[in-house]
Amino acid sequence: MVKRGTIRTGKTGKWVYNDLLMERQKPTPQMIAQVNVLTADLSSDKKKVRVLYKHLQQKVRYVSVQIGIGGFQPMAADQVEQLGYGDCKALVNYMQSLLSVAGISSYYCVVNAGDIKRDMDASFASMNQGNHVILAVPLEQDIVWLECTSQQVPFGFLGSFTADRIVFACTEEGGKLLRTPGFAAEENLQKREGRFVLDKEGDVKGPLSTSFYGNQFDNRFAVLGLPSIEQEKQLKEIYHVDNIAFKNITYVQKEAHDLQLNERFNIEVRRYAPKSGKRIYLIPNLFNRRAAVPTTQERTMPLFLNSGYKDVDSLVFTFPKDYRVDLKPSNIELDTEFGSFTMRLYVEGNDLFFYRALILHEGQFAPEKYLAFAQFINAVYQADLGKVVFLEQL
C-alpha cells in the first residue's frame, strides 16, 4: 500500500510542479536585480535564505485567493511582485522564485495544517488532503522550513499549526513525502517566575516573567505586535484572574539556537486572597490551573494526546510579618506514562515558595487506559486548587 501510494504521490507531485508551478516562477528583471543586491556579500546559502525570507516578509502580505483551477494554482511570481500580496500558494511560489535567482532549490509543500496533527495519506493521491502550503529549503546540513504567510514569524519556525506531520513536497523529480520538524515535550516549555507581596487585605502585587519555547512560543505570538492597550485586553483574557491589572508590559523575542519569547510585566490583583477573621486564604497557583476531565470506564475510542509540553511555575509570596503559615498543602510527586507532576511548597522566614511542574506526553493510548489518565489529570486539578492558610499572630 505504501509503495503504491508513493508512486501515485510521485506522479501527482510532478504534475503539480510541471503544470501548476513551473511557468509561474519566472522572476522579473527587478526581482533578479533585488536578489543579487541582497545576497552579494553573503557567504552561505542559509544566510541568503534568511535575508530573502526577511525581504519576503517586508514586501508582501497574505490575502486569501480562492481562484485558479479551483484554488489550486498560485498567482504568478511577477503578479505577487507587482501587487504585493498573495495567498499561501502564491507567497511560497514567489519565495521559490527569489531563491531560484540565488541558485537555491526549494520544495513547494502541501500540508494538512491545524492544531490537530494530521499526516498526508501516502496511500492515496488527492489535492483535497491539504489545506495550506509551506516551503522546504534543503541545505547541506538540514532543511529550513518557512511559513511564508506571516510578516512576523521567526525564520525557520513553523509552530503547532504545521509542525510534526507528513507533508507532500512537489518537485521536478516528482512528489516526496517529508516530515516537518517537531519538539519533544520538554522543548515545548513554558517557564514562569514571579515574586509577589501579599498584604493584609489579600492584595497580591509584584513582577512576573514568563519564557516560551518550542510550540509554546505560539502562546503569546499573537500578542507580540499589538498596541499596549490591546495587549492588556488580551492578557486579561489569557490570565483570567478577577481584578487583575497589568503594568509595564514588555515582550522580547530571541532568535538564537533555541527560539524564545519572554513576557514581563507587573501585576496587581486586588482581594485575590480572601480574609476571614485572623486568617488569609491563598491559592498560590494563580495562573496555571489544569481543568478536570470526565471519569469513565466505558470509553471505546483510543485516547489521543496531540502535543506534549512542559510547564514550570516558580512563585514566591512575601506575607505580612505578623502572620504565620497555619496550613499548607502537602508536596506531591506523580509519575505516569501520560506525564508527571510535581508540586512543592516551603517557608523561609516570611516567604512562601511555590513550585509546580507539569509534563504531558503526546501519544495514542488504548481506551482502557483512559481511566488512569483521568485520575492523573484530576489529581493535578485538585492540587492546583490547594490553599495556604495564614494566621495572624497575637
Give pLDDT, residue 93. Answer: 93
Q: What is the CATH number of the domain that holds 14?
A: 3.10.620.30
What range does the domain containing 143 cover?
Answer: 2-179
What are the φ and ψ backbone dihedral angles of 186, each rounded to 5 degrees? -70, -20
For residues 358 and 384, state if they share a domain.
yes
CATH number for the domain harbouring residue 213 = 2.60.120.1130
Mapped onto helix, strand or coil, the DSSP state of residue 202 is coil
Residues 87 and 201 in one domain: no
Say whether pTM exceeds 0.85: yes
Tally the domains of the chain: 2
Residue after which a domain boundary falls, among 151, 179, 207: 179
| H or E segment to which residue 207 belongs | strand 204-213
Query: Where a domain ends, among 179, 205, 233?
Result: 179
For strands 204-213 and 260-269, give the pairing: antiparallel
Indicate the SS3 state at residue 294. Answer: coil
Q: What is the length of the chain?
A: 394
- Neighbour-count burial for 337-375, b at 16+ CB within 10 Å, e otherwise: ebbbbbbebeeeebebebbbebbbbbeebeeeebeebbe
* Cα three-residue angle 343-349-351, rounded to 5 degrees: 45
Question: Are both 20 and 112 inside the same structural domain?
Answer: yes
**What gap in Å lies between CA 96 and CA 144, rounded to an integer?**
13
Spatial CB neighbours of 142, under 8 Å, sequence gap ≥ 6: none
Residues 103, 60 share a domain = yes
pLDDT of residue 54: 95
Q: What is the pLDDT of residue 172?
A: 82
Same domain, 143 and 224: no
Q: Are residues 101 and 207 in the same domain?
A: no
Residue ranges with strand state E in 300-372: 303-305, 309-318, 323-327, 332-335, 339-348, 351-360, 363-365
* Same structural domain, 163 and 207: no
Write out the chain's pLDDT in tens, 394 residues. Answer: 233 334 345 566 666 766 677 778 899 999 999 999 999 999 899 999 999 999 999 999 999 877 667 677 888 899 999 999 999 999 999 999 999 999 999 999 999 999 888 888 877 766 678 889 999 999 988 899 999 999 888 899 998 899 999 998 888 887 888 999 989 999 999 999 999 999 999 999 999 999 999 999 888 888 888 898 999 999 999 998 999 999 999 998 876 556 889 999 999 999 999 999 999 999 999 999 999 999 988 899 999 999 999 999 999 999 999 999 999 999 999 999 999 999 999 999 999 999 999 999 999 999 999 999 999 999 999 999 999 999 998 7
Please indicate, yes or no, whether residues 83 and 175 belong to a single structural domain of this protein: yes
The Cα-based distances of 371 to 54, 126, 334 in angstroms read: 49, 38, 16
| Residue appearing with cell numbers 506534549 | 308
Q: Are residues 230 and 374 in the same domain?
A: yes
H-run or E-run covering 291: none
- Do residues 23 and 154 both lie within one domain? yes
What pLDDT sits at residue 371?
A: 95
Boundary residue ending a domain (179, 211, 244) = 179
Residues 195 and 150 placed together within one structural domain of the fold: no
80's grid cell: 505577487
- Residues 165 and 287 occupy one common structural domain: no
- CB 368, CB 296: distance < 8 Å: no
